[in-house]
Structure 1
């Protein structure tokens, strides 16, 4: 279960246009899928670090 980053209430997982987002019924607002975005950023950062190390060797 995901919790709202603004108020810490449980959020509802929603799907629209082939994308996942979360809805907080307390704030009555859509929230992005932060867990997925953080995972993506972590993977991108790891890939960038690997590429930088490769170029350092050249």
Structure 2
């Protein structure tokens, strides 16, 4: 994601990720500390299925 800074354990609390309006939980549903500028949604197809029309919204508060 362009403009997303490299995150550390303290700054990741300023990152919010939503899927179809539902807030995802850091380390449970998504990870953003592995690669700068990247948010990876981690999911199990049985617990959190992903669909082609899903809307992902990423918010970062400076």
TM-score normalised according to structure 2 size: 0.27
Point out which structure has higher relative CO (alpha carbons under 8 A, 6+ apart): 2
TM-score normalised according to structure 1 size: 0.28
Q: Which has the larger radius of gyration?
A: 1
